[in-house]
């Protein structure tokens, strides 16, 4: 194993959202696995452990690495989107976002978000269901061998989470169209497709 190998990271100034210090990467649990097997494929990772093909509820860091998933939890916004790309709070679209999509997690869980019956009600209803899901179980959720019978709660939650994402993206497009009604540029979201019409 190539223990002690330094990661090769692109150079960016610390204030740049793309800046990553090598020590950040070395703290990732799967770092040595990555450095020892630099050209691994998803198949290679799957062969490492029988647990690799378990339900996504039992995903580990190895899965995240194998599928090249990006973890954005607890990162400051500047590490995700450059400040120069963020619209100011007085932007007309942002005013709608702040007005209708600023409820706290407690508001969503308690149902207070639904009381106003605003444009984000459907999104908040779907998000409420997702937030009520139990903590990730220690063992994989069994996957039925046939399509007969009732669906698994986990599948329903995943479906609801996907619907919440669709509702959220649709809301953002709607807010943009309302706020920028005179613009020649239109962004629309329909099911799984994006289109940018002029």
The alpha carbon of residue 88 and the mean position of all alpha carbons in its chain are separated, in whole angstroms, by: 23
The residue with greater pLDDT, 131 or 76, is 131
Of residues 21 and 95, more confidently modeled: 95
**Residue 162 DSSP symbol:** H
CA atoms within 13 A on the CB side of 62: 19
Angle CA(101)–CA(104)–CA(110) in degrees, nearest 5?
A: 110
What tokens appear for 5 in the block?
């190998």
pLDDT greater than 90 at residue 12: no
Q: Which two tokens stand for residue 193?
A: 């497709």
The predicted-structure confidence for 78-124, as pLDDT tens digits, reads as follows: 777 777 777 888 989 899 999 999 999 899 999 899 888 889 999 99
Mapping DSSP to helix (H, G, I), strand (E, B) and coil, where does residue 193 land?
Answer: strand
pTM beyond 0.85, yes or no: no
Percent above pLDDT 90 for the chain: 11
């Amino acid at each position: 194993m190539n223990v002690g190998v330094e990661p090769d990271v692109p150079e960016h100034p610390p204030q740049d959202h793309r800046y990553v210090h090598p020590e950040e990467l070395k703290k990732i649990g799967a770092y040595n696995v990555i450095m020892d097997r630099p050209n691994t494929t998803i198949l290679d990772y799957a062969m490492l452990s029988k647990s690799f093909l378990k339900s996504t509820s039992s995903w580990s860091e190895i899965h995240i690495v194998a599928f090249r998933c990006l973890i954005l939890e607890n990162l400051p916004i500047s590490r995700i989107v450059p400040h120069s790309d963020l619209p100011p709070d007085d932007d007309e679209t942002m005013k709608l976002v702040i007005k209708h999509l600023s409820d706290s997690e407690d508001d969503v869980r308690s149902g207070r978000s639904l009381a106003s019956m605003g444009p984000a009600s459907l999104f908040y209803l779907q998000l409420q269901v997702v937030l009520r899901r139990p903590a990730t179980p220690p063992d994989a959720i069994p996957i039925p061998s046939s399509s007969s019978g009732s669906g698994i709660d986990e599948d329903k939650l995943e479906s609801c989470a996907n619907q919440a994402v669709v509702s959220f993206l649709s809301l953002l497009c709607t807010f943009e169209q309302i706020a920028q009604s005179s613009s020649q540029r239109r962004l629309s979201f329909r099911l799984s497709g994006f289109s940018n019409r002029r």
